[in-house]
Structure 1
Amino acid sequence: MNELLAIVAHANRCRSSYRWHKARNGRPVIAGVTLHGTRTDIGNAQTIWTGMETSRALMWRVRARRTPNAKENAAFRDGYYKGFAHEIARRYAALERDMETPRRAANSS
């Protein structure tokens, strides 16, 4: 989740941080996330993040109804975050390259 938030934050000129604690089983649990930046940039990042989280929650709820095994649901959640983070990073990188291309052409003229 933190990796995905960092990607969304970076794409919207923000930084992200998170708070965590250890669960009883020793695994880290993210307790909260924070965006840092201008109000407008944070608002844009929050809108995108909320949309992605809503989508994930809806898909996870459908999966949970079909498969009551918590481990499989956790694996689905974790896989979703990793796959989605990878795809979002790829798309933002492509957008960044596209935005830089006209600048390079204009600067070399």
Structure 2
Amino acid sequence: MDTKNMRPQFEERYPVPEGVAWNSDSQRYVLTHLKICTVSQYEKHVERWMCWRASREAVVVQMPDRTSEAYCEEFDDVEGGSFNEAAYIRDVRKVIEAQGLKVVA
């Protein structure tokens, strides 16, 4: 999972304590200044980050198959039929909400 998208949301909710920084090489938070941030504060932040990542990685949504016959409408004047986008969007919304997630329009 790409942490580039998760981290800004996490840091908005849980600001990075002074004395802690993100190390892009190791892809983790590091304690940079022990006099500003205690080990306990650092560990608390890292634990929150681990929980945040785990909660995001646990969410998996299986999208409906766009090529399914359910989304193909046949018309007499259209060769090959057409894609029913409204039905597909409705079903996408259903599978997302089935995961207990809120969908906003």
Same structural fold, with TM-score higher than 0.5 when normalized by the shorter chain: no
The structure that has the greater radius of gyration is: 2
Bigger fraction of residues in helix: 1
Q: What is the TM-score of this pair, normalised by structure 2?
A: 0.38
